[in-house]
Amino acid sequence: MKQSLTLALAQYAYSTSIEAIPASVRDRARQVILDEMASACFARRGTAGQLAARYATSIVGPGECRILGTQLRAPPPYAALANGMAGHGDEIDGAHVVGGHPGATIVHAALAAAERQHATGAELLNAVVLGYDVGTRMVRACGGVFGLKSRHHLHSDLLYSVGAAVAAGRLLGLDALRQCYAMALVTFQANGLISLFDEKGHISKSFSNGQYAFAGVSAALMSAAGLEGCEDVLGGRDGVLEAWGVEDGPDAATRNLGQDYAVMGANFKFINAGYPIHAPVEAAMSLVADHNITVEEIESVHVGMPANALRVVDNRQMHNICVQDMVSAALVRGGLSVSDSPFPAILDDPAFARIRARITVGVDAGLEHDQPNGRGANVTISTSDGSAVSRRIDHPRGHSLRGPVMWSDLSQKWHDALPGADVDRMLLLAHRLDDLEDVNELSQAFIQSPSASL
C-alpha cells in the first residue's frame, strides 16, 4: 500500500535528530532563533506586541512560558501567540526565499513547546530545522506565496502552521501517527485571507503569524491529549493539496528531505520594512552616497521591481509595507534603521511630501525575467542638473543568496535595537544553544530590563 503524504512527513519528523543536521545548518538555525526571539522582544512595546501580551494574560493565568520582552508568563499556545504576534509586529523578523515569515510562526511555536517540556537547546534546534523543512515545502506544494494569493486569495503563511505543529509535536515526543493527527488538527485553526494586507495598521498582519504559532502548539497538545483527525490531511481526498496544491505538489512536499535544509533559505532584515522594500531602499541610498545627491536636488525617483513583489508593496496603507513611503522616508532621513521608525512623525515634514510625490514605481523587465519571484530592485534617481543614475540590487543585505550573515552583523543589529537588554548574554546563549540543558535559560535572557512588564 502506498504511503500517504502526511505519514511520510510525520515519519520524517519522528526520525529527525540533531546529530544528523550539518554544522552549517545548525549555525544558521541558531542565528534564526536568536533573531526571531529578539524581534519579539524589540516589538513588545509596539501596539501589536502590547495587545498580544494583554490578550494572552487576560484569558488565562500564569503558565510555563515567557512572553518575551517582559516578566510575564502564559500557557504554551498563548505565549506562542503573544510572541509570534510581537515577532512580526514591527517587520524586523526574518523572511525566507520561499516567501513570507516562517520564523514568526515556527520559532515561537517551537520555543513555547520547548519551554513547556524543559527541552534541551539541541532539541529546540532540531525542532526549528524540522519546522522550516515542512512549512516551506507545504508553501511550495501549494504554488508558492504568489500562487496562493492569486488563485485562492490566501496568505501563504498559514501553511507555516503545519511546520509549527510538527516542530511542537517533535518536542512533545509525538509518534508518527500522532504527528498526522497534529497536522490535521492545525488545519482547523489556521486561515488567512489576503484582505489583511488592506488594513491601515499592522495588527491583523501581525496577529496572523501569532495565530499560526498558537495553532501549531495547540494542535500538538491536542494530539498528545488523545484528539484525532484525518490521517492524510495533506494528500488525501479534500485535503490541503487537493484544495490548494499544484500538479507537482506531493513531490515538492517531500523532495530532498534531510538533504536540502530549508532554514538555509532564511533571510535577515536590517530595517523595519516589508522585505520587498529592502532592495529599493538600499539601491536609493547607495546612489545618494556614491553620487553625493542631496534631497533638494532630487527631481524624480523610479523604482523598478518584479511584478509579484511590486504588488505586495505598491502604495499600501501600512507605511512599513509601502515602498513609496519607505523609500521617501529613507531619502529624507538619510537612511533607515531597525531602532528608529520614521512614522508617523515624518508625515508632517514638507520634504517627505515633496519626495513622496516624485516617486514612481513599475515592473522592471530585467528583474521580471531574471527573478520573477525575487526581492530585487532597480532604482533610478534623476536630479535637477538633468542627470540620472541607476542602481540594481538583486538581493538585499541579509538575503541568503547574497552571502552568509555573520554573528557580528546580528550583534550590531540587536545592540543598537535593544539598549535595555543584555544582548551579550542573548548572543552567548544562542551561540552555545546545542549545549543548553534547558531552553528556559535562553528565554529568560530575553527581557528589556530586569523590571520589564506591561
Query: What confidence tens digit (pLDDT) does each residue in 348-378 have?
Result: 999 999 999 999 999 999 999 999 999 999 9
Statement to judge: residues 221 and 129 lie in one domain: yes
Q: Is residue 150 part of a domain?
A: yes
Overall domain count for the chain: 2
382 shares a domain with 310: yes
Same-domain status, 54 and 93: yes
Q: Share the mean pLDDT of the chain.
A: 94
pLDDT of the residue at 377: 98
Mean pLDDT for the stretch of residues 215-242 = 97
DSSP run (H or E) holding 250: helix 249-254
Q: Do 171 and 227 fall into the same domain?
A: yes
Please indicate, yes or no, if residue 60 is contained in any of the structural domains: yes
Q: Are 111 and 190 part of one and the same domain?
A: yes
- Which H helix or E strand runs over 302? strand 298-305
Range of the domain at 282: 275-393
**pLDDT at 121 > cutoff 70:** yes
- Flag whether the pTM goes above 0.85: yes
How would residue 451 be classed by pLDDT, with cut points 50, 70 and 90? very low
Kindly state whether residues 75 and 127 are assigned to the same domain.
yes
DSSP classification of residue 134: H
Shared domain check, 102 and 210: yes
Q: Give the model's pLDDT for residue 448.
A: 67
Euclidean distance between CA atoms 66 and 78, whole angstroms:
10
Query: Is residue 410 domain-shared with residue 264, that is, in the same domain?
Result: yes
Does residue 110 form part of some domain? yes
pLDDT tens profile 257-284:
999 999 999 999 999 899 999 999 999 9
**Is residue 451 a part of any domain in this protein?**
no
Mean pLDDT score, 240-255: 96
**Residue 293 belongs to some domain of the structure:** yes
Does the residue 448 lie in any domain? Answer: no
Last residue of a domain, one of 393, 414, 429: 393
Q: Do 170 and 220 lie in a common domain?
A: yes
Give the residue from 178, 177, 142 showing the smallest Cα distance to 159: 142
Q: Tell me if 453 is assigned to some domain.
A: no
- What value does the mean pLDDT take over residues 390-400? 97
CATH code for the domain in which residue 364 is found? 3.30.1330.120
In a domain, 94, yes or no: yes
Cell numbers 515542512: residue:
134
Is the separation of the CB atoms in 36 and 94 below 8 Å? yes
Examine the pLDDT at 174 and tell me if it is beyond 50: yes
What pLDDT score does 63 carry? Answer: 86
* 330 or 191, greater pLDDT: 330
